[in-house]
Amino acid sequence: MRIEVNGESVTTGAASLAALLEEQGHDAASVATALDGAFVPRAARGTAALKDGARVEILAPMQGG
């Protein structure tokens, strides 16, 4: 299926947000996620189903000052 991850079109076989994070190589414990504009808590990622055309945001904290 085709989805959008951080504004870029991606083809994925992941059925859930948790599976997408694993597929993309993200450390699930250190990122924040949103699906179609709604925040998805870490505990809910396994049940957050992806569908064709979904918009996913994956945000990692940045250090600096």
What is the domain count for the chain? 1
Q: What is the extent of the structural domain holding 26?
A: 2-59
Domain-embedded: residue 51: yes
Residue of 19, 11, 51, 22 whose CA lies nearest to 35: 51
Domain-embedded: residue 41: yes
Domain-embedded: residue 65: no
Domain-embedded: residue 26: yes
Domain-embedded: residue 64: no
pTM of the model: 0.91
Helix residue ranges, H only, the chain: 17-24
Domain-embedded: residue 40: yes
Contact partners, residue 39, CB within 8 Å, separation at least 6: 32, 33
CATH code for the domain in which residue 51 is found: 3.10.20.30
With cut-offs at 50, 70 and 90, classify the pLDDT of residue 65: low
Q: Per residue in 12-59, pLDDT tens?
A: 999 999 999 999 999 999 999 999 999 999 999 999 999 999 999 999
